Amino acid sequence: MKSIEFHAMGSSMLAAVDNDTLAAAERLDSVPRWFKVWESRLSRFQPDSELSALNRASGAPFPVSDVLWDALQASLQAARFSDGLVTPTLTPWLEAAGYDRSFEAVADLGESPATVLAPPTRVGAELRLDARRRCVTLPEGSRLDLGGTAKGWAADRAVHRLRSLGPCLVDAGGDIAVHGPRLDGSGWAVGISDPSRPEESLELLALSRGAVATSGRDYHRWIRQGASQHHIIDPRTGLPASTDILTATVVAPSTVEAEAAAKVALILGSDAALAWLEAHPSLAGLLVLEDGSVRRSRRLSRYLWR
């Protein structure tokens, strides 16, 4: 197996192929460049990114690249899949919670004044997309954040580019896409990190296809005016989700779906999240609650290492 590790999109990345040829090594060497290009298109935090340009052009049609168009489509797919609980149009509410800079720069905001915004009223319904001309029109003053969906989309896209080499895996900061069982017939061993001891696994998965992603408020949280804040916004309130779940991990057919489903679970809270997961046959999940207890959906056993 050959692999490469690098840093992109504010997270640690890893790409691996079960192939020891020179061609595999050369293809792997190009993966960081792919992510650099995608980040330059999709980052909300880079002023010269294409997404930042689109946000500045709100109110007017803006022609976008294939990369931004595809990632935006994936984000809207996640919005539909999640019944609007995961949407790219929550940037003002993210910033109001204090997430107005990259994760590396988010610190204890102390007594800085909090901004209170009314909840969003028409989540995701404001975008106008012209498929023929590849133009996007944002409502005046609206800004997009593709967030975790962009990382999931990038993991799916990278695996798609690597799969001609054989079995492969891409880990985009914990959002993991897999193609094919390994050459020895086994699945890819993926641990579900214990939020209280991140180096240890709560469960070991054997994935032969599809994806797994984790969303959580265990790491990216900050204090603002004495209140704990995090980056998972509940669009029904416009505030960081009030939930008993600390981290949610979901196995799904694609990384975009896994990432969106993990966010949905976290926003819903454990009881509703388990019911929602059971109602979707393509999903399986593990929830770590604030009190340290762990809850699993029934289908998770299909993916456990035996």
Which residues here bind other proteins, judged by CB under 8 A? 7, 10-12, 14, 16, 103-104, 148, 151, 169, 171, 173-176, 186, 188-193, 195, 198, 201, 204, 212-220, 247, 249, 305
Tell me the backbone φ, ψ of residue 114, rounded to 5 degrees.
Answer: -85, 145
| CB 223, min distance to other proteins, A | 18
> Cβ closer to other proteins: 235 or 285?
285
| CB 6, min distance to other proteins, A | 13
Q: How far apart are CA 165 and CA 255, in angstroms?
A: 20
> Cβ closer to other proteins: 101 or 128?
101
> Cβ closer to other proteins: 204 or 289?
204
| CB 276, min distance to other proteins, A | 19
| CB 304, min distance to other proteins, A | 10
Q: For residues 287 and 265, is the Cβ–Cβ distance under 8 A? A: yes
Beta-sheet pairing, 188-194 with 197-207: antiparallel
> Cβ closer to other proteins: 136 or 218?
218
> Cβ closer to other proteins: 114 or 189?
189
| CB 129, min distance to other proteins, A | 27
Burial 127-160, CB ≥16 within 10 A → b, else e: beeeeeeeebbbeeebbbbbbbbbbbbbbbbbbe
DSSP for 133-148, please give it: TTEEEPPTT-----HH
Q: How far apart are CA 208 and CA 39, in angstroms?
A: 28
